[in-house]
Structure 1
Amino acid sequence: MKTLVFLLLAALCAAIVLFACATYLIFWYETANGSDREELDRLSNGHAVAWTLRGFATALAGQCVIIATYAAGLVPRLWLPRPSDDASPHPVFLVHGLYHNPSAWLRVSRVLAREGLSRQYTFGYLSFGRNFDEVATRAKERFLKMMERHPGQRAVVVGHSLGGLVLRTFLADEDTARHIAVAVTLGTPHNGSRLASIAPGRLAKDITPDGAAIRRLNEESRPADIPCLSLSSPVDNMVLPNAALRIGVPGWEQQRTGPVSHVFMLYDRRVIRQALAFIREALAPVGTGGDKA
C-alpha cells in the first residue's frame, strides 16, 4: 500500500513538472522568436531568462495549490466570508478560469474581505460539455439574481483567465453593465490563446485566436464607461502569444505584473495588491461605503 501511494505521488509530481516544463518551453519559443521578447527584456531589465525561470517556479507552486485546494471549490459557502456589520454595500462577483472551480478565489477572497468587500459570490461552471455562450448566459443569470439581493448597489466583478472574457460579455450588455462599479481581469486571453487549440473540450476551442467567443467579443465590445483593469503577466505560460493578453477596447487600463505564471496570479500577494489598489481607487470617489455615481 505504501508503495502504491508513493508511486501515485511520484506520478503526480512528475505530471506537474512536465506540464510546467512543456508550457514554459512553448512560451520561450514563442517569445524568443516573436515581438514579445523586446518587451520582456525591457520589463526585466535584460533578465528575461531569470524572469521566465521565476514564472516556471510559480507554475509549479500554482499547480500544487490547485491540487491541495480544489475540493474546497465544491462547497464555497463554507469558506466565503460572512459580511460584517460595516461591510461595503458593493457585492463582489468572482468568475474562475477554464478547468478550475471557485477554489481559485480562496486567497483573493480573504484579501477583499479585509478591505470590507465581504459580500462575495462565486460563479462556478463545468469546463466540459458546454460552450462559451452557455457559460456566459448562466453567469449573467446568476449575476442578475445576486443584484436582486442588493437593489440600488453596483458590484465589483473580478475574473481570471476565461472568467475575464465572461465579464466582458457583462460589459457589452446594458442589463448587466449598469450594475457594475468596477471590473478587473487577471491573465485573460482577450485575443485568444494558441494553446487552447490543443486543450480538450468545446469551451477551450471557443477561446482560440479565431474562436467563436473571441470573434464575437471583439465585434460587440464597446468603450468602457466604468473603471476596468486588465492585469497580465509578461511570463504567462498559458496565453500565447503573450500579446494576446492585451485588450484593445478603449477605456480599459492595462497593467503588467511581475514575473508570475498564469495560475499563480491568483495567489501572488503583489498581484492581488495591484488589483486591490485599482478597486480602491475606483470606489474612492464615494468611498467603499456607498454607491458609485
Structure 2
Amino acid sequence: MKVTRALLPLLPFCQRLFPTRLAGLSLTLLKATALEIAILAGHLVLYPSGITPERRRSPIPTRSLADLPDPDLDADATTEAARLPAPDKPPVVLLHGFIDNRSVFVLLRRSLAQHGRQQIESLNYSPLTCDIRTAAELLGRHIEEICERTGRQEVDIVGHSLGGLIARYYVQRLGGDIRVRTLVTLGTPHAGTRVVPMMNAHPIVRQMRPGSGVLEELRKPAPHCRTRFVSFWSDLDQLMDPLETACIAHPDLLAQNVRVSGIGHLALPVHPAVAAGIRRALDAEEETARAAAHTGGLTVA
C-alpha cells in the first residue's frame, strides 16, 4: 500500500522510531506510529496520578440475610464470618513496565471492572529498581498480602513489558505458580531484546538482553509449573528486537502466544481489542487454554 502525500512528512520520524527491519513503510505502520504518539502524550498527562501507591479497598459484596454473621457467635467467629467472601473470579494484579507506573492501566482496569472483575490491584515498583529478581520477590510479598486480604488462594496477573518478565520470574523461579493461576504478558521480551543499545548502562536493561543471567534462568526446566501463560506480541512493536522475542517458547510451560497486528508497544495495555483478548484469556478454562496453546491472532488495524 502506497503512502499518501499527506503522510510523507512523517516518514523520517517513523523511520527513526521503528527498526529498519520493518521494510516497506505502509499506511498501517503510519497509523500505528500516530497512535503510539497519541498514547504517549496521554500517558504523560496521566503519569503523575500513578506515582503514589494505589489505595487498597476491599469491594463490598452483595449479601443476603443468610450471609450475615450470627449475633450469638463469639467475637472471633463473628470477625471470621464477616470476612469478605471470595468472588467467582480471582483478583487481577496489574504490573507496569520499565520507567512507568500503574497509570498505564487506567483503561484496561476499567474494561476488566465493567466485565465482572471485582478485585483489581495495580502495583507500582520503583523506577530505580535494578534487579528483576528483587522486583519478583517484592511482587511475591504483595501477592501474599492480596491473598490474605481477599481470602483467595490464587490471583491472575497482567504484566506489560518488563512487568511481564518480573511476574514470569516470580512464577518460574520463586514458586509463584502456587499463587498465580494465569499470567498474561503484553510486549514482554521473554527471549531478550536488542533494541536501544545505549540503554545498557541500566542494570535492569542488561537483564532484558538476550543471553542475560535472568533469561538463562528462565530457560531452565520448569516441569511442575502450574501457571497458564498467555503472551500478546505485536508485529509492529518497536521495542522488541526481534519481534518474536515477545513470544514464550518453553517446553515445560502451558503457553499461548497471541499475535497482535496493527498497533505498537504502548498500545498493548490500552487498545480495547487487546483488552477483550485479555478478558478472554483470563476467563478461559484450562482445557480451552491447552487446546489453544501456541496459537492465536488478533488484528487491530
> Matched residue of 1:194: which SS?
coil
Shift of 1:204: 1.2
2:56 maps to 1:53: no
Aligned equivalent of 1:240: 241
Aligned equivalent of 2:102: 102
Aligned equivalent of 1:90: 90
Where in structure 2 are there 5+ consecutive unaligned residues? 1-10, 63-86, 289-301
2:47 maps to 1:74: no
What is the aligned counterpart of 2:273 among 270, 274, 284?
A: 270
- CA separation in 2, counterparts of 1:268 and 1:274? 10
2:144 maps to 1:144: yes
TM-score after normalising by structure 2: 0.74
> Matched residue of 1:264: which SS?
coil
Aligned equivalent of 2:6: none
Letter in 1 for 2:228: P
Change (3 A) 1:220 1:196: farther
> Matched residue of 1:56: which SS?
helix
> Matched residue of 1:166: which SS?
helix
What is the aligned counterpart of 2:285 among 262, 282, 286?
A: 282
Letter in 1 for 2:210: P
State which structure, 1 or 2, has the greater radius of gyration over its C-alpha atoms: 2
> Matched residue of 2:182: which SS?
strand
Residue 229 of structure 1 contacts residue 252 of structure 1 at CA under 8 Å; is this kept in 2? yes
- CA separation in 1, counterparts of 2:129 and 2:165? 18
Aligned equivalent of 2:204: 203
Aligned equivalent of 1:124: 124
Deviations 1:92-130 (A, max 9, x none): 111110111111111111111112213122221123352
Deviations 1:125-179 (A, max 9, x none): 1233522222122111212222222334321111000111111113214642112
Residue 128 of structure 1 contacts residue 201 of structure 1 at CA under 8 Å; is this kept in 2? no
Aligned equivalent of 1:290: none
- CA separation in 2, counterparts of 1:284 and 1:107? 29
> Matched residue of 1:256: which SS?
strand
> Matched residue of 1:158: which SS?
strand
Change (3 A) 1:284 1:110: farther
Shift of 1:48: 6.7
Shift of 1:234: 0.6
- CA separation in 2, counterparts of 1:241 and 1:219? 21
Q: Which has the higher contact order (CA 8 A, sep 6+)?
A: 1
Where in structure 1 are there 5+ consecutive unaligned residues? 1-16, 33-46, 286-293
2:33 maps to 1:30: no
Change (3 A) 1:89 1:153: farther
Change (3 A) 1:147 1:81: closer
Number of aligned residues: 251
> Matched residue of 1:62: which SS?
helix
TM-score after normalising by structure 1: 0.76
> Matched residue of 2:93: which SS?
strand
Residue 190 of structure 1 contacts residue 244 of structure 1 at CA under 8 Å; is this kept in 2? yes
- CA separation in 1, counterparts of 2:130 and 2:174? 25
Change (3 A) 1:267 1:280: same
2:155 maps to 1:170: no
Residue 182 of structure 2 contacts residue 282 of structure 2 at CA under 8 Å; is this kept in 1? yes
Shift of 1:50: 2.8
Residue 23 of structure 1 contacts residue 238 of structure 1 at CA under 8 Å; is this kept in 2? no
- CA separation in 2, counterparts of 1:174 and 1:256? 28
- CA separation in 1, counterparts of 2:154 and 2:42? 32
Residue 76 of structure 1 contacts residue 103 of structure 1 at CA under 8 Å; is this kept in 2? no
Deviations 1:77-106 (A, max 9, x none): 36x886352554511111110111111111
Shift of 1:283: 8.1
Fraction of identical pairs, as percent: 22
Change (3 A) 1:74 1:118: farther
Aligned equivalent of 2:83: none
Going by fraction, where is helix more abundant, 1 or 2?
A: 1
Residue 81 of structure 1 contacts residue 118 of structure 1 at CA under 8 Å; is this kept in 2? no
Residue 55 of structure 1 contacts residue 235 of structure 1 at CA under 8 Å; is this kept in 2? yes
Change (3 A) 1:212 1:196: farther
Shift of 1:19: 7.8
